[in-house]
Structure 1
Amino acid sequence: MDTKKRLLLKALASCGLLTAVPSTLWAMNQSLVFPFGKLPAANKIQRVLSAGAPADILLLALVPEKLLGFSAFEIPRNNPWFSQSIQTLPKLGRLSGRASTLSIEQLLALKPDIIIDSGSVTDTFRSQAERITALTGIPYLLVSGKLSDSAEQIRQVADVLGVVARAEPLANMAEKILTDARIFSSTQRKPLRFYAARGAKGLETGLAGSLHTEAAELLGLENVAKQAGRHGLGQVSMEQLLLWQPDVVLTQDESTYQHILTNSQWQGINAVQQQQVLHYPRFPFGWLDAPPGINRLLGLRRLHAHFDPKIQAGLQADTQAFFELFFHSTLSDESYQQLVKQP
């Protein structure tokens, strides 16, 4: 465990915020979970509240029967990709972040046994978790959500929730996807350069090292958008893009994709000229981002398949297995084709 984590855990323990952590987590000596308040015993956790979008996906995978609802998603009825039980989960509003849409009064009315958030473990999110626990008395678990840590993230949260056996196949699949990606990355002598386009004109992007572009970077692709000391979202100019000349452009937004294909300035980008604009529409979860949760494992597999024929050969089976394990839904052959259909 590094020095920063040791200091953080010591500080939390000294102020009474770090208590009742399952012993197996300490045995791992690399905690990805940061508890605030006294966590209930696993068999006492029956009502789980997701604080934000990445936690929506994590909790859907691990404890769909205990999840009170989504914080950020509303799956339409008769959706061909998700089971009826998933479609009936309500959208409750987001607790995490600056623009919370779930009030303290609404939170208390839901009577959760625990609140779980996943993503960046920054001072801002730790402070928010501490404040909410102090106000409500409800224990709060903050989970580090790097894609590269997905397997251990799944295992450690499963330990807290008492679903270790259920989680192991999910963690194994995560490990397989990540290992294959790292092997592919190690074989790339000259990495392809990519740009992740967001926003109406495609000029918002995830900077190198951010949660938003982690999937592509794990494959060894080089993010052209680098900014020293910053790893979140950033704005770029068209002039800068023309200088960068990425080999591949990635986007999940239909309006962004259409703008890139039809705007005259974008026609000067090599990736556009070479028809290497990859559009992966949300379903409603994003493949590579939106949210930056464990849904990105599936996006990583799909992006890997675009460059690797061996992975492409098994992509349908992998996607259907992922839906079964992580989304508790059966994805038919026809629905799979609809899901991955390129415009």
Structure 2
Amino acid sequence: MDVTRRRILQGLGGLLGSSLWPNLTMASTASQLSMFGQVPSAAKAQRLISAGAPADMLLLALAPERLLGLASFDLGGDYPWLSNKLTALPKLGRLAGRSSTLSLEQLLALKPDLIIDCGTVNDTFRSTAERIVAQTGIPYLLVSGKLADSAAQLRQTGAVLGADARAEQLAQIAEHILAEAAHFADARGRQLSFYAARGARGLETGVAGSLHTEAIELLGLRNVASAEHQRGLAPVSMEQLLLWQPDIIITQEPSTWQHIQTSPQWQGLKAVQQQQVLLLARFPFGWFDSPPGINRLLGIRRLQAYLDPSLQAGFKAEMQQFFAAFYHSELSDAHYQQLVEPQLVNA
């Protein structure tokens, strides 16, 4: 057993104590932050509003005690693997994206010190930030949300919030997962192809290079749905799937998984015949998107453990520490089994 693997399998540590994740501190490169308005000092940034789902993930990890609520998630349902502090956070609605569900009147009534959004940084999102600052006077921080830049996002946003120590620990975990993914991609990942099944019949997918499949592609797997001038989601025909014959099919929807397993149309795919249809159901956060935030780091590691049997024995401890660090929640063995174990072992 090599040194890195031995360290991964060591016991759990506290949030700022011992860790399963090796110290892989790297210098942050370009700034991930765009600031609009007068961003307050860390000491005065005590009341935070998340503008969208990826920012929910970032702020749950870095400063859940300062969050006034979540933009896109209602955690008041049956999520016993999340701490009471998280499930008590109300769903406030989104400020960013295609349609805002949090009105400016509601926003002003909450009296936040700072709005934080995370995701694509383009003219549309810059314009949203500028408009909200002009209309409300509330400063706005826009964080670039590329998965490969997760460590820099965490460190730089943590510095703004005065949460440097917590951000550093999370950034080291992110760096380790991404470095291990790159190693797997070079060693094995590029030998495998995949199809990400979405929709009731599984005939919608994320095109190569999209946010929906970015996490899987970082492991080197080849997305069979590739279109030179298209990104995002696209419909797929069964005839095309039969020609593609992906090595593995991945879905986050139980109903989609059930349809693929039972529909006669899907039985012509070798991945179905060989039981290589992987269900990674949301908990409520997705593993690979929904949202496309730092939650995807855990999805990368889970898929790598599925594909590499040598990682499976240590994955439970890794996932439990990820929950402690990023979700401030204690994941019991029973809840781990409920979320993961039925689909972890590679058939």
* TM-score, length of structure 2 as denominator length: 0.88
| Residue 313 (structure 1) shift | 1.9
Q: Residues 189 and 219 of structure 2 are in contact (CA less than 8 Å); yes or no, is this contact kept in structure 1?
A: no
Decide whether aligned partners of structure 1 residues 134 and 282 sit closer, same or farther in structure 2, where only a CA change above 3 A counts. Answer: same
| Residue 190 (structure 1) shift | 4.9
Q: Which residue of 1 aligns with 2:111?
A: 111
SS in 2 for 1:155: helix
Q: Residues 195 and 250 of structure 1 are in contact (CA less than 8 Å); yes or no, is this contact kept in structure 2?
A: yes
| Residue 233 (structure 1) shift | 1.8
Matches within 5 A, 1:321-336: 321-336=321-336
Q: Which residue of 2 aligns with 1:261?
A: 261
| Residue 79 (structure 1) shift | 2.8
Matches within 5 A, 1:78-227: 79-188=79-188, 190-227=190-227
Q: Residues 82 and 327 of structure 2 are in contact (CA less than 8 Å); yes or no, is this contact kept in structure 1?
A: yes
In the alignment of these two chains, the number of paired residues is 317
Q: Residues 305 and 315 of structure 1 are in contact (CA less than 8 Å); yes or no, is this contact kept in structure 2?
A: yes
SS in 1 for 2:66: coil
**For residues 45 and 331 of structure 1, what CA distance do their matches in structure 2 show?**
30
User: Hey, which bits of structure 1, 4+ residues long, moved more than 3 A?
Assistant: none
2:291 counterpart letter in structure 1: P
**For residues 316 and 135 of structure 1, what CA distance do their matches in structure 2 show?**
47
Q: What residue ranges of structure 2 are gaps of 5+ in the alignment?
A: 1-26
**For residues 123 and 186 of structure 1, what CA distance do their matches in structure 2 show?**
35
1:292 and 2:292 matched: yes
Comparing 277-286 and 72-81, the one that deviates more: 72-81
Identity of aligned residues (%): 64
Q: Residues 42 and 161 of structure 1 are in contact (CA less than 8 Å); yes or no, is this contact kept in structure 2?
A: yes
SS in 2 for 1:316: helix
| Residue 132 (structure 1) shift | 1.3
Decide whether aligned partners of structure 1 residues 78 and 277 sit closer, same or farther in structure 2, where only a CA change above 3 A counts. Answer: closer
**For residues 153 and 146 of structure 1, what CA distance do their matches in structure 2 show?**
9
**For residues 242 and 248 of structure 1, what CA distance do their matches in structure 2 show?**
13
Give the aligned CA root-mean-square deviation in angstroms: 1.5
Decide whether aligned partners of structure 1 residues 209 and 140 sit closer, same or farther in structure 2, where only a CA change above 3 A counts. Answer: same
**For residues 183 and 77 of structure 1, what CA distance do their matches in structure 2 show?**
38
Q: Residues 190 and 221 of structure 2 are in contact (CA less than 8 Å); yes or no, is this contact kept in structure 1?
A: no
1:313 counterpart letter in structure 2: A
Give per-residue Cα distances to partners, 1:137-179, cap 9 Å, x unaligned: 1111111111111111111111111111111111111111111
Q: Which residue of 2 aligns with 1:48?
A: 48
| Residue 301 (structure 1) shift | 0.5
Decide whether aligned partners of structure 1 residues 237 and 122 sit closer, same or farther in structure 2, where only a CA change above 3 A counts. Answer: farther
Comparing 119-128 and 272-281, the one that deviates more: 119-128
Q: Which one scores higher on RCO, CA 8 angstroms, separation ≥ 6?
A: 2
Q: Which residue of 1 aligns with 2:6?
A: none
Give per-residue Cα distances to partners, 1:213-233, cap 9 Å, x unaligned: 111111110011111132222
Q: Which residue of 2 aligns with 1:24?
A: none
SS in 1 for 2:212: helix
Q: What residue ranges of structure 1 are gaps of 5+ in the alignment?
A: 1-26
**For residues 123 and 237 of structure 1, what CA distance do their matches in structure 2 show?**
34
| Residue 78 (structure 1) shift | 5.9
| Residue 321 (structure 1) shift | 0.3
